[in-house]
């Protein structure tokens, strides 16, 4: 497993990876290197579909998931340098969204600006009860540019998203839960365990099936229902000739847990 300057990657069993954004002295703020490291990790997963089967994305320490773009690094940046850096962040967001393996965001603290956008790129979110979220870009003379204007409305609806994006107003974990941005809220001490329990359950299922189901949901929501149904059956047909499909049925009939191999 490669080492990263700004990420800690931990194997949890054979098929689950915990990825922590690791700049705790800067509240895990997103700098250029972290953008490059996240691209590298998630694009490598896309190129090695045999593993992992599920990813938990979180932040180091107890205070921050990711505080957003590193404004110290950005201070006095030229327009050209700013645009070059932002191109990295744009590719980072696409790499996370396009990752074939399911991603659970474990939001362990502040997720502001780009950090909130990274969270929104995950497939679903669990949050610590002290977690705080905000898309603060308009207060800095910019706007969300790493998927925030697309992912937040899809999670909470257009009107709520516009209120949050145009005001830059922070919101807490309970509001995020009530609005549908996060799936569950847990005490900080149990957040990672809860995320890992769900990751283990996902990883125990047939990996081709979970990846195809994820792709069908994500892409289908961008289509008409008729086109989505057509896409769904194409995704379904990918599993018919697999060993895992035969193993799942055999295990059910033999009253034993299935052993899926991803083929």
Q: Where are the domains of the chain?
A: 7-203, 207-253
The pLDDT assigned to 3 comes to 85
The pLDDT assigned to 71 comes to 87
Give me the CATH topology for the region 207-253.
Answer: Lyase 2-enoyl-coa Hydratase; Chain  A, domain 2 (1.10.12)
The pLDDT assigned to 51 comes to 76
CATH number, domain 7-203: 3.90.226.10
Identical fold between 7-203 and 207-253? no
How far apart CA 80 and CA 68 sit, in angstroms, is 20
Q: Can you give the pTM of this predicted structure? A: 0.92
- pLDDT by residue for the chain (263 residues), tens only, comes to 678 999 999 999 889 999 999 999 999 999 999 999 999 999 999 888 667 999 999 999 989 999 999 988 889 889 999 999 999 999 999 999 999 999 999 999 999 999 999 999 999 999 999 999 999 999 999 999 999 999 999 999 999 999 999 999 999 999 999 999 999 999 999 999 999 999 999 999 999 999 999 999 999 999 999 999 999 999 989 989 999 999 999 999 999 999 999 88
């Amino acid at each position: 497993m490669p080492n990263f300057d700004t990420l800690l990657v931990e194997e949890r069993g054979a098929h689950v990876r915990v990825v922590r954004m690791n700049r705790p002295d800067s509240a895990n703020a997103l700098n250029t290197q972290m953008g490059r490291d996240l691209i590298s990790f998630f694009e490598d997963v896309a190129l090695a579909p045999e593993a992992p089967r599920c990813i938990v994305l979180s932040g180091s320490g107890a205070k921050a998931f990711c505080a957003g773009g590193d404004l110290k690094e950005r201070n006095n940046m030229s327009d050209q340098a700013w645009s070059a850096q932002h191109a990295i962040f744009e590719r980072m967001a696409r790499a996370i969204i396009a990752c074939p393996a399911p991603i659970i965001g474990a939001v362990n603290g502040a997720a502001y600006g780009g950090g909130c956008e990274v969270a929104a790129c995950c497939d679903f979110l669990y949050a610590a009860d002290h977690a705080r979220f905000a898309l603060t870009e308009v207060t800095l003379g910019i706007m969300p540019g790493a998927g925030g204007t697309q992912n937040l409305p899809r999670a909470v609806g257009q009107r709520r998203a516009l209120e949050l994006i145009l005001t830059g107003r922070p919101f807490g974990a309970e509001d995020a839960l009530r609005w549908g941005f996060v799936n569950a809220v847990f005490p900080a001490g149990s957040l990672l365990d809860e995320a890992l329990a769900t990751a283990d359950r996902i990883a125990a299922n047939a990996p081709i099936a979970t990846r195809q189901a994820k792709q069908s949901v994500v892409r289908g929501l961008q289509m008409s229902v008729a086109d989505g149904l057509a896409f769904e059956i194409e995704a379904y047909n990918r599993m018919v000739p697999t060993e895992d499909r035969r193993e799942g049925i055999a295990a059910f009939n033999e009253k034993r847990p299935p052993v899926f191999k991803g083929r």
